[in-house]
Structure 1
Amino acid sequence: MTTTPYADLSADDLASELTRLREEYDALRAKGLDLNLTRGKPAPEQLDLSNGLLDLPSTHVDPDGTDVRNYGGLQGLPALREIFADLLGVDADRVVCGGNSSLTMMYQTLTWLILKGGPDSPRPWSAEPTVKFITPVPGYDRHYTMLEELGIEMLPVPMHEDGPDVAAVRELVADDPAVKGMWLVPTYANPTGSVCSTEVAAELMAMPTAAPDFRILWDNAYAVHHLTAEETKSADALGLAAASGHPHRPVMFASTSKITFAGAGVAALAASPENVAWWLERLSFAAIGPDKVNQLRHLEFFGDAEGVRAHMRQHRDLIAPKFAAVEDALTARLAGRGVATWSRPTGGYFVNLDVVDGTASRVVAFAGDAGIALTPAGSAFPHGDDPHDRNIRLAPTFPSLADVETAMAGVALCVALAAVEQLTK
């Protein structure tokens, strides 16, 4: 069956389609739905996979004989660092295991760079007239709000399927020493699902920068969050950086927040030995040690990195059908209509939906009035400002499969309605 693009319909046919879509939308509103696709949270069934943590640890001594109930061990339990090292493809002595939030570790890193500068900084970033950061878009809203809070200017560049636009990044960093860093979610990026290729990663690590202490905050939040049997491996950021003569450039972050309990996981940082030493020195003024009881709990629960991978395959079994439901709903309503494109991620937590320019806010409003909460249009851009008003982030993991199916049928209807409205103005 061939579907005619809406833009190719006659004026009369468009008017008829608008009437039909409005009637369908009114029926949707009458259902009184209360559904939410706003945040990428694990579903209760995913959290249940980790309920064994509630009975752990079985001892208060780690494999090295450390009493985890007491102070000390600022870098985290060595055996748990080995697990993160395996998953991230780095050496264990370059890993720091902390509390439950990698966002906190990111914020600490930025704050300390501002207050003190890094091991290769000529002075603290606060001594610079201006500090700027490159932000691939669409991207992660919490990265943007962190920069905004710290007064760091944001420089958007396009995010492609193989990573950020390298040419745009090169141009920004070449001559302006105020450009101090960039964010990057390298594997199954939020929200596009893009994977930064080894070639792009190598260019980012090797490129000349006017700032001698340029940082790439490598937020590998979804490194093991696969949606298919093909488990994509992240580029070796630390190895590529060291080989290019810029070993301090990447600072890598990860956590178990979407692996075990979102509010009681373990976060990790990985970087060059000098960056790790710098980070631990800063941390030593604020802490005497992490929650080693929780770290030991996770160590016992997983055993090793393969235990994490096996656990994540159970997650995949739960959420992959929800992503399939998103694809089915968008395809059924919008394929061939010329009014939307969307990502088909092989991992991560989101689907990126682009609609007709100027209609994303309208789609979100339509959906909200029908009882389907979506992330605000533009949230994947700095300051919430999508200059084209076309981008919507979809988060299908938390609702039940039936609710995802219902919600996405409604979202697809709202996209079509907003598009046809635009065409008939």
Structure 2
Amino acid sequence: MPTSATPLSALSADDLAARLTTVRAAYDELKSRGLTLDLTRGKPGADQLDLANALLSLPTSYRDRSGADVRNYGGLEGLVEMREIFADLLGVDVANVVAGGSSSLTMMHQVLTAMLLKGGPDSPRPWSEEPVVKFVCAVPGYDRHFTMLAELGIEMITVPMTPDGPDAAAVRALVADDPSVKGMWIVPTYSNPTGAVCSTEVAAELMAMPTAAPDFRILWDNAYAVHHLTEQETKSADALGLAAASGHPNRPIMFASTSKITFAGAGVAALAASPENKAWYLQRLNFAAIGPDKVNHLRHVEFFGDADGVRAHMRKHRELLAPKFAAVEEALSTRLAGLGIAEWTVPTGGYFVNLDVLDGTASRVVQLAKEAGIVLTPAGSAYPHGKDPADRNLRLAPSFPALDEVRTAMAGVAVCVELAALESLTRG
């Protein structure tokens, strides 16, 4: 149903009641269709995974460039050829990179637990010996970052996410005088879920700002560094270079992976950090591993060849993903624009669309969608402990369903958004 150009809040009580009747009828029709659609998680679609099926017949050799047998123990830093690819993509020196297993989340968890148990190179004591440990979290943000902190008993304090990255002034105020604030998360490029890109100016300020904690860490999760949705391929800020130039080389620890590039469950993860942080990480890792899956490293090296091979591969992903994101934008614009009940992002990369609905209605939208056979991520998931104070934020993940299913699901979501808003407005 096309939208009216008149904001719902400007309609008379009688007009609101009439529109509510019309939208309820549209919702009843939606429910009658017996849909089973899922927009909950940013998983690659099967057609995206198919792009990497040649990996299943690789590697063709079991020796790396130096002649070493990748089937054997050793090589804690990972295959140098794999590290070179990550270094090029992330804009860092290969000497700063560790190539690991399949999960960058695992590497993040390793870093946090090591900081808690042992402390970092510049820590006065292990974090677990501090009275309290706090992390700054830009919201809306990545739910798995928040659940990891919650599981480890780290308190979360929020700042707004802006189009240019975390609100640097708000962060600076929190870290200046409180030594219990030990770190923060950033998804710098095409952030989850807003698609924001941390500008070089914001990154520079965060790397240079004074902090009461001498071992303050910025966990720089560059999960979507090469996941472009347009021909304009945004480059991430040079976190390591900016930190070194500001005199805080140990502040950032960077993470990335091929999880949404090749096979989501069988990719390669990487960590990049200052020489001191890298040595500290490897020292801790030495007690937990004798080396990563170098066969998988070699498999990926043969598949890509080099970083340009990754970039070419990601253009194939873009061809599959961009139409789905366009379908989300079309549905929301066609059905909700002008009503004054929803705002959404139009990302140029990444895996998500951020949708803000009328305050107090996000949970109701999720409920209505579920009853109509459309599963959405729970309202508030992009906030610590899943609690959005305004109950307005929703994260949409259009990558996994087929394009026609995205169109159907988003048309349904738009109906649910308007119905929830009308219910709220007519009650008030």
TM-score after normalising by structure 2: 0.99
Partner of 1:250: 252
Q: SS where residue 113 of structure 1 aligns?
A: helix
Distance 2:364 2:204 in 1: 40
**1:151-300 equivalences in 2 (<5 Å):** 151-300=153-302
Q: SS where residue 316 of structure 1 aligns?
A: helix
Distance 1:194 1:49 in 2: 27
Distance 1:404 1:353 in 2: 15
Q: SS where residue 156 of structure 2 aligns?
A: strand
Cα distance, 1:4 vs structure 2: 0.8
Equivalent residue in structure 2 for 1:415, among 389, 414, 417: 417
Task: Indicate whether 1:118 and 2:120 are aligned.
Answer: yes
Distance 2:128 2:324 in 1: 45
Distance 1:340 1:269 in 2: 38
Distance 1:64 1:409 in 2: 55
Paired residues, what number?
Answer: 425
Contact 2:380/2:387 (8 A) holds in 1:
yes
**1:383-422 equivalences in 2 (<5 Å):** 383-422=385-424
Cα distance, 1:10 vs structure 2: 1.1
Task: Indicate whether 1:99 and 2:101 are aligned.
Answer: yes
Partner of 1:340: 342
Distance 1:20 1:82 in 2: 59
Instruction: Look up the equivalent residue of 2:129 and give its one-letter code.
Output: A
Task: Indicate whether 1:38 and 2:40 are aligned.
Answer: yes
Distance 2:291 2:364 in 1: 49
Q: SS where residue 190 of structure 2 aligns?
A: coil
Distance 2:102 2:341 in 1: 41
**1:49-60 equivalences in 2 (<5 Å):** 49-60=51-62
Distance 1:412 1:66 in 2: 56
Q: Deviations over 1:310-349 (max 9, x none)?
A: 0000000001000000000000100000000000000000
Cα distance, 1:66 vs structure 2: 1.3
Distance 1:19 1:30 in 2: 17
Cα distance, 1:154 vs structure 2: 0.2
Instruction: Look up the equivalent residue of 1:308 and give its one-letter code.
Output: V
Equivalent residue in structure 2 for 1:24, among 9, 23, 26: 26
Task: Give the superposed CA RMSD.
Answer: 0.7
Cα distance, 1:63 vs structure 2: 1.0
Distance 2:154 2:414 in 1: 37
Cα distance, 1:64 vs structure 2: 1.6
Q: SS where residue 424 of structure 1 aligns?
A: helix
Structure 1 ranges of 4+ moved more than 4 A? none
Q: Deviations over 1:228-254 (max 9, x none)?
A: 000000000000000000000000000
Identity of aligned residues (%): 76
Q: Which runs of 5+ in 1 are unaligned?
A: none
Distance 2:181 2:13 in 1: 50
Partner of 1:48: 50
Q: Deviations over 1:119-158 (max 9, x none)?
A: 1111111111100000000000000000000000000110
Partner of 1:374: 376
Q: Deviations over 1:284-310 (max 9, x none)?
A: 001000000000000000000000000
Cα distance, 1:160 vs structure 2: 0.3
Partner of 2:78: 76
Q: Deviations over 1:49-69 (max 9, x none)?
A: 000000000000011211000
Contact 2:175/2:181 (8 A) holds in 1:
yes
Distance 1:315 1:115 in 2: 40
Q: SS where residue 144 of structure 2 aligns?
A: helix
Distance 1:85 1:33 in 2: 44
Contact 2:207/2:242 (8 A) holds in 1:
yes
Distance 1:288 1:422 in 2: 58
TM-score after normalising by structure 1: 1.00
Instruction: Look up the equivalent residue of 1:58 and give its one-letter code.
Output: T
Contact 2:259/2:266 (8 A) holds in 1:
yes
Instruction: Look up the equivalent residue of 1:11 and give its one-letter code.
Output: A
Instruction: Look up the equivalent residue of 1:272 and give its one-letter code.
Output: S
Instruction: Look up the equivalent residue of 2:395 and give its one-letter code.
Output: R
Q: SS where residue 71 of structure 2 aligns?
A: coil
Equivalent residue in structure 2 for 1:140, among 123, 128, 142: 142
Contact 2:36/2:374 (8 A) holds in 1:
yes
Distance 2:172 2:219 in 1: 16
Q: Deviations over 1:378-420 (max 9, x none)?
A: 0000000000000000000000000000000000010011111
Cα distance, 1:2 vs structure 2: 6.5
Partner of 1:324: 326
**1:360-371 equivalences in 2 (<5 Å):** 360-371=362-373
Q: Deviations over 1:162-221 (max 9, x none)?
A: 000111101100000000000000000000000000000000000000000000000000
Distance 1:334 1:102 in 2: 37
Instruction: Look up the equivalent residue of 1:180 and give its one-letter code.
Output: K
Task: Indicate whether 1:62 and 2:60 are aligned.
Answer: no
Distance 2:361 2:401 in 1: 25
